[in-house]
């Protein structure tokens, strides 16, 4: 028996002579390839941005701590960032503290608002520790502006709703997130306010989502903007009754280039001067001799009737979804929602009159 076993041991290697590579090596190679593929997938998986982490269907709650005494005193002239801290609960309901830098932003609002809008710049080290992307670490905060809590919240909710409606109309649109913020004075730990605000995604993140690049300009020729995109944006501004924007002078509008050498696309922001919001501090634009912020003006270029009807059809196709969004936005009271819907329907009435639409829009253009 021992001789038979010894003979088998000697002859065993010859059973596989001339065959494919040894199975063990093959399996080893396959497992190595699988491991490499796994590493590649992990490497290619994009990390979540701070905005995506914060983005929820409900209001996101956070605490912002900084030297607000100094910020509010110097809000009109302040250009440098000051240190601060943001605290909130993560997905495991554990409190997270992130270092940020903050400064007032905007022009008009930082002059007239009791509390100015801010820019928050998160420290990249903290984002990395949370496993988040370090790339898009800057967010705009649309603050409550007014001391009157009730009016301030109403304005914020309306402006937030405008961002959500524009998401229906254009892929080149900023995402917005409602936040409830406790503002705490650093040092003393005293809570100053607890108010509702809006966080807006970073411009560069919008560009990444749409495979575009942000184009920085102080002046823009309207003819360098995509006819369809530019007209949709202008029609939307007319719909919400906003005359506080300009492509030519780059006011409350920014630009994206979808492809190299392509025409530009616009995305708007800051809608507090619109008739839709009707903020108490908003004033009608004197450049167009408006008597009320609710008075509409069409500031886009009047293209061919075919182009204008194409854009009008787009808005009418989104009418039902837009109206339903407004009716279902329970954070505003019933009367407020009813007024908004009535205001929007007066705009749709112009578009629904196909025969006279172009003429009626022309009447809304500024008089030269």
Residues 147, 112: contact at Cβ < 8 Å?
Answer: no
252-308 pLDDT, tens digit per residue, is 999 999 999 999 999 999 999 999 999 999 999 999 999 999 999 999 999 999 999
How would DSSP label each residue in 78-99? --S-EEEEEEEE-TTS-EEEEE
> What topology is assigned to 211-363 in CATH?
1.10.1070
Q: Per-residue pLDDT for 312 more than 70?
A: yes
Using CA atoms, how far residue 163 sits from 57, 91, 138, 160, 168, in Å, is: 14, 26, 18, 5, 9
46-62 pLDDT, tens digit per residue, is 799 999 999 999 999 99
Which residues have CB under 8 Å from 106's CB, separation 6+? 116, 117, 270
Which residues have CB under 8 Å from 294's CB, separation 6+? 241, 275, 278, 343
Smallest CA-to-CA distance from 186 within 38, 322, 302, 85 is with 85
206-217 pLDDT, tens digit per residue, is 999 999 999 999
How would DSSP label each residue in 31-72? HHHHHHHHHHHHHHSPPPPHHHHH--SS-EEEEEEE-HHHHH
66-125 pLDDT, tens digit per residue, is 999 999 999 988 889 999 999 999 888 789 999 999 999 988 888 889 999 999 999 999
Residues 284, 293: contact at Cβ < 8 Å?
Answer: yes
Query: Does residue 68 or residue 43 have the better pLDDT?
Result: 68
Between CA 103 and CA 145 the distance in angstroms is: 15
Between CA 280 and CA 364 the distance in angstroms is: 24
Q: Per-residue pLDDT for 30 more than 90?
A: no
368 band by pLDDT with thresholds 50, 70 and 90: low
Helix (H) or strand (E) run with residue 268 in it = strand 265-268
Sheet of 265-268: strand order equals 213-215, 253-257, 265-268
Helix (H) or strand (E) run with residue 121 in it = strand 118-122
Between CA 79 and CA 85 the distance in angstroms is: 19
- Start-end ranges of CATH 1.10.1070 in the chain? 211-363
287-303 pLDDT, tens digit per residue, is 999 999 999 999 999 99
Between CA 273 and CA 279 the distance in angstroms is: 7
User: How much is the pLDDT for 2?
Assistant: 46
From the number of C-beta atoms within 10 Å of its C-beta (0-12, 13-18, 19+), residue 138 rates as: middle
């Amino acid at each position: 028996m021992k001789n038979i076993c010894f003979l088998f041991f000697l002859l065993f290697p010859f059973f596989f002579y001339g065959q494919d590579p040894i199975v063990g090596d093959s399996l080893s190679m396959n497992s190595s390839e699988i491991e490499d593929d796994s590493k590649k997938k992990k490497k290619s998986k994009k990390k979540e941005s701070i905005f995506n982490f914060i983005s929820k269907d409900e209001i996101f709650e956070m605490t912002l701590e900084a030297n607000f005494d100094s910020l509010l005193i110097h809000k009109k002239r302040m250009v440098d960032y000051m240190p601060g801290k943001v605290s909130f609960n993560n997905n495991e309901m554990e409190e997270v503290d992130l270092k940020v830098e903050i400064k007032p932003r905007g022009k008009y609002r930082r002059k007239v608002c009791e509390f100015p809008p801010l820019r928050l710049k998160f420290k990249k080290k903290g984002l990395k520790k949370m496993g988040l992307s370090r790339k898009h670490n800057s967010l705009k905060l649309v603050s409550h502006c007014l001391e009157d809590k009730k009016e301030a919240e109403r304005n914020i909710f309306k402006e937030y709703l405008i961002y959500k409606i524009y998401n229906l109309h254009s892929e080149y649109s900023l995402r917005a997130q409602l936040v409830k913020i406790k503002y705490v004075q650093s040092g003393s730990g005293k809570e100053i306010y607890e108010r509702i605000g809006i966080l807006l995604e970073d411009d560069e993140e919008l560009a990444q989502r749409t495979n575009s690049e942000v184009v920085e300009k102080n002046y823009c020729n309207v003819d360098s903007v995509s006819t369809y995109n530019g007209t949709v944006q202008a029609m939307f501004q007319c719909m919400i009754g906003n005359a506080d924007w300009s492509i030519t002078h780059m006011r409350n509008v920014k630009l994206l280039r979808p492809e190299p050498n392509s025409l530009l696309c616009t995305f708007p922001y800051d809608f507090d001067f619109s008739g839709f919001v009707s903020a108490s501090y908003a004033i009608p634009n004197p450049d167009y001799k408006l008597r009320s912020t609710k008075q509409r003006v069409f500031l886009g270029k009047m293209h061919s009737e075919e182009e204008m009807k194409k854009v009008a059809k787009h808005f009418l196709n989104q009418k039902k979804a837009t109206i339903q969004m407004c009716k279902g936005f329970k954070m505003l009271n019933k009367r407020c929602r009813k007024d908004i819907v009535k205001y929007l329907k007066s705009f749709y009435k112009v578009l629904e009159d196909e025969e006279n639409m172009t003429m009626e829009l022309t009447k809304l253009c500024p008089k030269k």
